[in-house]
């Protein structure tokens, strides 16, 4: 009973971290009663390493960025080195520490550890350092982390994933390629300057998409460390720590929901279902461009904080649950629409000449990774229902709606042929081959339509059909349409007589040769760049 009373007293009355009193003194929190031996155990280091490995690929953006693990002693640094090498042999791990510091107690052999680390560094990176040239190895590590000199473009496998240190590289070293700091050491309130120096290693800007912020993960007295970090930031920002800390995951999830709802309302007000195509008004396109960029920013940040498309519900520290209203399918569809903002308006324009702001990085996102199997599975369910002797019209319509929604992420051109394919299936004009997927049929329809257009142009103008097909398939733009003189050769293959007859019949008037050449140029350019005949 006595022990229970003590336990309840601490749990009810004593906070985890001490608090500043009105007299300027810091009261004790529960964590202040923890001794260092609580953390100086193999079990603790095992858990830290497991935590690092679990999210390393995500935090490092698939090993694009580097991390620093700071420990409390050289002996601990070496233990972490050996643990990481054993548990994550796929990662490149090394360590730096001051060889002049004496930590010879408890049977720790610093010299042997140093030789091991140097030897494995030489093997990994093809170097020939020794204990005597350890300073040169430190410089090489610094250059490799900062991508300087010979390391501006690192070969795959030649990067440093995790550098383990005690105090080295935590002050004065700057690299925009370091984005994560793991702290298995405790900074006291009076060490605010050292703490600020350490966490500043991660905040150098590099890529606003891949590195929206630096990440700090601390493993000792976590509540007290949060207090010390808050106080240190407040002290060194003149009491105005605004913009220093990023929104935490719950805030980002709320932003994602709010922005998505606004995007959905924008498309619905334009009578567009399932985000199947862009609004026609430039003001609405511009609003979508701005909203999608903000949505993408919050998703990039949330992913680094633990967000995953596999999970839709997230519990907050207060016990509330945030349910994400945005699905991965909807986001992929919006990605496709965002790309079309640029692709459908680019032509001879640069992004800066468009009537709305476009982030070209987002237009380069590969949407081909979208799961076409899902679209095919929706169609097969619909087809199975369609073949029944007795049709349930309500269920049939529901399944058809699912099919339409599943191919909303396709380009507008692909959607046209997807709809035509559905019409042909419904009317019985086409027998579906189960060996071919829905998307296979879309490609077939597009190819046949493209071949028909090229055939028509060849007949009308007598031009080189093979060259036209090559150029139409190459996804050219105004800047490279005449690369290698292809467009010049294509126009030279046109019969002036046929071209003049075509345009005079279409226009119903007599045209001069310069007028015919101008109209021909506009028609061919539009077909090559947009796949359509004007």
Residue 366: predicted pLDDT: 44
Task: State whether 227 and 268 are in the same domain.
Answer: no
Task: State whether 364 and 267 are in the same domain.
Answer: yes
How far apart are the C-alpha atoms of 310 and 263, rounded to whole Å? 22
Task: State whether 13 and 90 are in the same domain.
Answer: no
Task: State whether 122 and 201 are in the same domain.
Answer: yes
Statement: residue 489 has pLDDT above 60: yes
Task: State whether 227 and 290 are in the same domain.
Answer: no
Q: What is the pTM of this model?
A: 0.56
Statement: residue 6 has pLDDT above 70: no
Identify the CATH number of the domain in which residue 171 sits. 3.40.50.300
**In contact, 405 and 272? CB cutoff 8 Å:** no
Task: State whether 89 and 193 are in the same domain.
Answer: yes
Statement: residue 282 has pLDDT above 80: yes
Per mean pLDDT, which of 146-150, 167-171, 173-177, 487-491 is the most reliable? 487-491
- Decide if 142 is inside a domain: yes
Task: State whether 97 and 117 are in the same domain.
Answer: yes
- Decide if 309 is inside a domain: yes
Distances, alpha carbon 463 to alpha carbons 217, 459, 473, 520, in Å: 65, 8, 17, 11
- Decide if 9 is inside a domain: yes
- Which helix (H) or strand (E) segment holds residue 332: the answer is helix 328-343
Q: Which of 339, 368, 397 is the last residue of a domain?
A: 368
Return the beta strands (E) in 304-423 as ranges: 313-315, 321-323
Statement: residue 508 has pLDDT above 50: yes
Q: Which structural domain, as residue segments, surrounds residue 13?
A: 2-27
Statement: residue 181 has pLDDT above 80: yes
Statement: residue 367 has pLDDT above 50: no
Task: State whether 256 and 392 are in the same domain.
Answer: no
- Decide if 452 is inside a domain: no
What share of the chain in percent tops pLDDT 70? 86
Task: State whether 175 and 293 are in the same domain.
Answer: no
- Decide if 33 is inside a domain: no
- Decide if 221 is inside a domain: yes
| Nearest C-alpha neighbor of 69 from the set 101, 30, 96, 88 | 96
Interior angle at CA 438, CA 434 and CA 442, nearest 5: 130
Statement: residue 416 has pLDDT above 60: yes
Q: Which two tokens stand for residue 437?
A: 């997927």
Task: State whether 355 and 405 are in the same domain.
Answer: no
Task: State whether 472 and 531 are in the same domain.
Answer: yes
| Nearest C-alpha neighbor of 525 from the set 485, 494, 491 | 491
Average of pLDDT values for 305-319?
Answer: 81
Tens digit of each residue's pLDDT (9 = 90 or more) over 87-134 = 999 999 999 988 777 666 666 788 889 999 999 999 999 999 998 898
Question: pLDDT-derived band of residue 364, with 50, 70 and 90 as boundaries?
Answer: very low
* Domains contained in the chain, number: 5
Statement: residue 412 has pLDDT above 50: yes
Question: pLDDT-derived band of residue 495, with 50, 70 and 90 as boundaries?
Answer: very high
b/e map 500-522, b = 16+ CB within 10 Å: bebbeeeeeeebeeeebbebbee
Instruction: Give the three-state DSSP class for 29.
Output: coil
- Decide if 161 is inside a domain: yes
């Amino acid at each position: 009973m006595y022990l229970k009373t003590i336990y309840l007293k601490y749990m009810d009355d004593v906070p985890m971290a001490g608090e500043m009193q009105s007299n300027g003194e810091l009261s004790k929190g529960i964590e202040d009663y923890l001794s260092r031996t609580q953390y100086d155990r193999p079990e603790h280091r095992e858990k830290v390493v497991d935590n690092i490995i679990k999210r390393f690929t995500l935090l490092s953006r698939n090993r694009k960025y580097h991390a620093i693990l700071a420990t409390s002693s050289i002996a601990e640094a070496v233990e972490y080195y050996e643990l990481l090498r054993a548990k994550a042999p796929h990662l490149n791990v090394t360590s730096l520490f001051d060889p002049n510091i004496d930590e010879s107690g408890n049977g720790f052999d610093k010299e042997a550890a140093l030789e091991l680390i140097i030897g494995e560094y030489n093997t990994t990176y093809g170097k020939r350092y020794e204990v005597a040239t350890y300073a040169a190895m430190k410089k090489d590590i610094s250059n490799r982390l900062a991508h300087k000199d010979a390391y501006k473009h690192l070969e795959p496998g030649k990067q440093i994933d995790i550098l383990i240190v005690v105090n080295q590289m935590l002050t004065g070293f700057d690299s925009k390629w370091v984005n994560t700091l793991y702290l298995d050491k405790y900074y006291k309130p009076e060490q605010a300057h050292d703490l600020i120096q350490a966490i500043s290693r991660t905040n150098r800007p590099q890529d606003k998409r891949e590195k929206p912020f630096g990440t700090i993960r601390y493993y000792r007295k976590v509540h007290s460390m949060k207090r010390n970090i808050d106080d240190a930031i407040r002290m060194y920002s003149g009491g105005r720590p605004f913009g220093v800390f990023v929104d935490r995951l719950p805030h980002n999830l709320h932003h994602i929901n709010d922005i998505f709802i606004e995007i959905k309302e924008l498309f619905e007000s334009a009578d567009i279902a399932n985000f199947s195509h862009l609004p026609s008004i430039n003001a609405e396109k511009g609003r979508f461009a701005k909203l999608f960029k903000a949505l993408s920013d919050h998703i990039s940040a949330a992913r680094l904080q633990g967000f995953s498309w596999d999970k839709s519900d997230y519990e907050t520290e207060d016990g509330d649950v945030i349910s994400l209203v945005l699905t991965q399918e909807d986001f992929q569809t919006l990605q496709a629409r965002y790309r079309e903002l640029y692709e459908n308006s680019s032509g001879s324009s640069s992004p800066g000449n468009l009537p709305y702001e476009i982030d070209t990085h987002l237009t380069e996102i590969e949407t081909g990774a979208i799961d076409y199997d899902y679209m095919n599975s929706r169609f097969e369910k619909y087809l199975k229902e369609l073949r029944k002797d007795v049709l349930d019209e309500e269920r049939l319509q529901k399944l058809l709606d699912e099919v339409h929604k599943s191919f909303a992420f396709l380009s507008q051109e692909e959607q046209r042929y997807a709809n035509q394919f559905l019409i042909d299936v419904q009317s019985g004009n086409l027998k579906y081959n189960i060996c071919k997927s829905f998307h296979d049929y879309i490609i077939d329809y597009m190819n046949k339509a493209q071949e028909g257009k090229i055939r028509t142009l060849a007949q009308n103008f007598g031009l080189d059909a093979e060259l036209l097909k090559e150029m139409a398939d190459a996804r050219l733009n105004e800047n490279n349409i005449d690369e290698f003189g292809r467009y010049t050769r294509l126009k030279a293959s046109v019969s002036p007589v046929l071209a003049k007859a075509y345009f005079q019949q279409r226009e119903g008037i007599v045209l001069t040769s310069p007028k015919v050449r101008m109209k021909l140029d506009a028609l061919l350019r539009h077909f090559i760049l947009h796949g359509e005949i004007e």
